[in-house]
């Protein structure tokens, strides 16, 4: 203890406390000590000054009491949690003012013990005084019951003359064994409500000058109880608001992560610890940090990390709207740059409406940083766009470095008017090495509050510490990486913090692909290819037949529409002088060449619990389900896909489109 005390004071702190000293005759005297740093005129700490005196000396009794009351007030002022508040009170009262301290709080109509503090080295034997967490029932006529009913502080000056009934036989027996001499019980009252009781007792476990409390002590404990009740009430209100805010934040974030092929995922979210000096109450708790994992077509996955500027319920509400909007935009399966462009527009739409004196719109959109990535586990291709967010950290081969990003766009909501979002957000593509991990984070991970020396570490310093520690865990499980990241940077976090860790598979996933001419005869070939692939993958026969049926329907749809599709995007070179516009489409043989060149690609993928089928062609038109009449020969293919597949859809590609569907291999 002396070593820790010296370290604390040499750093510039002040230590104050009470300890017991055993005299030569065996009696104990309580000493009040204060240690302060010795500072010469030149500045730094060169030594320690310790001032000590006997606690509770009769000629300084009143001064000592008021000093204790002041210190209790100071300690309580910095406490925002109920358990911490109760613990601080008990530690200051025992042993300086009491040998035993119980604090019990009301939980509904039950009185529950929350603190049981005793002189050092002694604990109540089992079966005597009730432990922490137990319900306390004081019998009618007991002085504690009287304090509750009358809502006043009760003094038992001398137990030898007290005839109150004991709570139970074990309690009475223990009081006699340790020689309880005196007690004070004070109700904890605030705003006309009784929060509980504070019980202080003296016994023969210590040797004091006065083993009994008196009326002055009773009034002193009443004053302490008033401060304690107010601190507990504030802490209860704070914890209720904190719980509400954190629940709000929790339910805005994903409740559960999807199981994805070829990708391990771990996430963490932590609100910033509050600071009473902030003067912002609950706003220091939650904020607008969020993460998301969105299943896309054919086993691909959208990965999101974002941060709304500011704290409190407003930032969390904006975050919830943006997360919902991004999930909806992502289902279009467009590029990450397109998704961020749409999200930027949405950020402006949800801005709080404001007008100047002339009625002009002066709404200021929230400022949001965001990064959206699309990962394909079969090709290990990672496509992404960035809106002012910190780059992910890449962990591979014992190294931890920032992912190389060439184009970092502006945060959402801040681009200049007249500059279209498509020009701000750029898509980039990387290929992840097998088994590589990515750590996406918000700035709360590297932002730290000033240390005891008042120094604020720079983001570069904290990022360096983070990378150094994570590099040693590059091969660890994603859950361990997430845990290590949360504690890698020393100091208390100054903002809420979101972390998302993903790791690519170190083995190749099964895939089969083949390109066919867009001709009716190729429908059977495509179905044969699918059947052979499903058989080699040991897909259950019933599921394989269903998948092959839907392959036929989708491929047939592609072939039927190939002849009516527009001219592919390629350069047309015609020998001779330029033809008039109305004649340029009548070049002999051109139409046949176009139709004959049309192709489609069938790609099959196997996952742990599903197979995905994708059909690519050069037609830009996206398919839609038609309502076929009773006598129509066609128009039911996509209806069958919609009814029989778990999921299906289409997405634009650079060359045309892709139609896909998913068939589960286990269950429906």
H/E run at residue 251: helix 215-252
Query: What mean pLDDT comes out for the span 484-501?
Result: 86
Q: What is the CATH number of domain 59-237?
A: 3.30.450.40
457-488 burial code (b ≥16 CB/10 A, e <16): beeeebbebbbeebbebbebebeebbbbbeeb
- DSSP tally for the chain: helices H, then strands E: 14, 24
Assess whether pLDDT exceeds 50 at residue 84.
Answer: yes
Assess whether pLDDT exceeds 90 at residue 266.
Answer: yes
Contact between 167 and 124 (Cβ < 8 Å):
no
Q: For residue 662, give the nearest of 640, 643, 645, 637 by alpha carbon.
A: 645
Q: Which two tokens stand for residue 501?
A: 């860790």
41-69 burial code (b ≥16 CB/10 A, e <16): eeeeeeeeeeeeeebbeeeeeeebbeebe
Q: Which two tokens stand for residue 179?
A: 């020689």
Tell me if domain 1-55 and domain 59-237 are identical in fold. yes
Q: Which two tokens stand for residue 204?
A: 């023969």
Q: What is the CATH number of domain 253-355+363-414+423-504?
A: 3.60.40.10
Q: Which two tokens stand for residue 84?
A: 């911490």
pLDDT tens for each residue of 186-238 = 999 988 889 999 999 999 999 888 889 988 889 889 888 988 888 888 888 87
Structural domain boundaries in the chain: 1-55, 59-237, 253-355+363-414+423-504, 511-563+597-664
355-387 burial code (b ≥16 CB/10 A, e <16): eeeeeeeeeebbbbbbbbbbbbbbebebbbbbb
Q: pTM for the complete prediction?
A: 0.67
pLDDT at residue 49, rounded to an integer: 84
| Alpha-carbon span 427 to 69, nearest angstrom | 63
Query: What mean pLDDT comes out for the span 157-171?
Result: 89
pLDDT tens for each residue of 104-155 = 999 988 999 999 999 987 999 988 999 999 999 999 999 999 999 989 999 9
Contact between 400 and 470 (Cβ < 8 Å):
yes
| Alpha-carbon span 14 to 34, nearest angstrom | 7
Rg (CA), the chain: 36
Q: What is the CATH number of domain 511-563+597-664?
A: 3.30.565.10
pLDDT tens for each residue of 496-548 = 889 999 999 999 999 999 999 999 899 999 999 999 999 999 999 999 999 99
Q: Give the phi and the psi of residue 446 in degrees, each rounded to 5.
A: -110, -10
Assess whether pLDDT exceeds 60 at residue 574.
Answer: no
CA atoms within 13 A on the CB side of 461: 8
| Alpha-carbon span 361 to 364, nearest angstrom | 9
Architecture of domain 1-55: 2-Layer Sandwich (3.30)
- pLDDT averaged over every residue in the chain: 83
Q: For residue 106, give the nearest of 223, 244, 232 by alpha carbon.
A: 232
Contact between 92 and 75 (Cβ < 8 Å):
yes
Long-range contacts of 207-212 (CB under 8 A, 24+ apart): 207/27, 207/28, 208/30, 208/56, 209/56, 209/58, 211/181, 211/182, 212/157, 212/158, 212/181, 212/182
């Amino acid at each position: 203890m002396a070593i820790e005390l010296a370290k604390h004071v040499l750093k510039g702190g002040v230590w104050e406390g009470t300890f017991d000293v055993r005299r030569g005759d065996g009696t104990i005297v309580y000493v009040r000590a204060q240690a302060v740093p010795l500072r010469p005129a030149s500045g730094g700490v060169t030594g320690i000054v310790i001032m000590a005196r006997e606690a509770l000396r009769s000629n300084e009794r009143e001064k000592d009491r008021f000093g204790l009351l002041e210190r209790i007030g100071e300690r309580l002022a910095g406490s925002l949690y109920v358990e911490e508040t109760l613990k601080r009170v008990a530690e200051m009262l025992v042993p300086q003012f009491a040998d035993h301290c119980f604090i019990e709080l009301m939980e509904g109509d039950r009185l529950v013990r929350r603190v049981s503090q005793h002189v050092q080295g002694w604990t109540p034997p089992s079966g005597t005084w009730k432990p922490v967490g137990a319900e306390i029932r004081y019998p009618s006529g007991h002085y504690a019951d009287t304090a509750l009913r009358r809502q006043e502080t009760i003094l038992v000056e001398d137990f030898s003359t007290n005839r109150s009934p004991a709570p139970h036989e074990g309690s009475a027996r223990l009081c006699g064994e340790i020689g309880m001499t005196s007690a004070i019980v004070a109700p904890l009252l605030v705003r006309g409500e009784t929060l509980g009781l504070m019980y202080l007792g003296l016994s023969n476990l210590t040797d004091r000058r006065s083993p009994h409390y008196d009326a002055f002590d009773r009034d002193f404990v009443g004053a302490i109880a008033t401060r304690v009740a107010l601190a507990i009430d504030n802490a209860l209100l704070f914890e209720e608001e904190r719980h509400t805010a954190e629940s709000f934040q929790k339910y805005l974030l994903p409740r559960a992560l999807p199981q994805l092929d070829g990708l391990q995922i771990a996430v963490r979210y932590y609100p910033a610890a509050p600071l009473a000096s902030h003067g912002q109450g609950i706003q220091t708790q939650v904020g607008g940090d969020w993460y998301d994992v969105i299943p896309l077509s054919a086993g691909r996955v959208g990965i999101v990390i974002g941060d709304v500027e500011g704290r409190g319920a407003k930032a969390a509400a904006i975050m919830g709207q943006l997360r919902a909007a991004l999930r909806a935009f992502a289902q279009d399966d467009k590029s990450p740059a397109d998704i961020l462009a749409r999200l930027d527009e949405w950020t402006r739409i949800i801005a709080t409406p404001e007008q100047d004196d002339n009625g002009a719109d002066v709404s200021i959109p929230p400022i949001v940083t965001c990064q959206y990535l699309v990962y394909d586990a079969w090709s290990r291709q990672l496509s992404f766009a960035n809106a002012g967010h910190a780059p992910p950290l890449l962990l591979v081969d014992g190294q931890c470095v920032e992912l190389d990003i060439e184009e970092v766009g502006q945060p959402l909501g801040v681009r200049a008017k007249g500059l279209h979002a498509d020009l701000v957000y750029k898509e980039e593509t990387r290929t992840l090495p097998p088994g590589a991990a990515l750590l996406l984070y918000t700035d709360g991970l590297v932002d730290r509050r000033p240390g005891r020396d008042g120094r604020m570490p720079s983001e570069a310093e904290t990022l360096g510490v983070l990378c150094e520690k994570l590099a040693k865990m590059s091969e660890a499980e994603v859950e361990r990486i997430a845990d290590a990241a949360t504690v890698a940077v020393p100091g208390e976090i100054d903002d809420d913090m979101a972390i998302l860790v993903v790791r690519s598979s170190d083995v190749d996933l099964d895939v089969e692909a083949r390109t066919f001419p867009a001709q009716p005869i190729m429908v059977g070939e495509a179905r044969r290819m699918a059947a052979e692939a499903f058989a080699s993958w040991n897909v259950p026969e019933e599921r394989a037949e269903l998948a092959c049926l839907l392959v036929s329907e989708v491929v047939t749809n592609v072939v039927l529409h190939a002849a009516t599709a527009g001219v592919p995007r390629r350069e047309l070179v015609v020998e001779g002088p330029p033809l008039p516009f109305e004649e340029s489409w009548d070049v002999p043989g051109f139409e046949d060449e176009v139709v004959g060149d049309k192709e489609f690609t069938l790609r099959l993928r196997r996952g742990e619990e599903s197979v995905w089928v994708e059909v690519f062609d050069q037609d830009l038109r996206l398919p839609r389900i038609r309502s076929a009449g009773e006598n129509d020969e066609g128009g039911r293919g996509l209806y069958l896909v919609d009814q029989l597949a778990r999921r299906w859809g289409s997405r634009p590609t650079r060359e045309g489109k892709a139609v896909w569907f998913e068939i589960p291999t286990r269950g429906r």
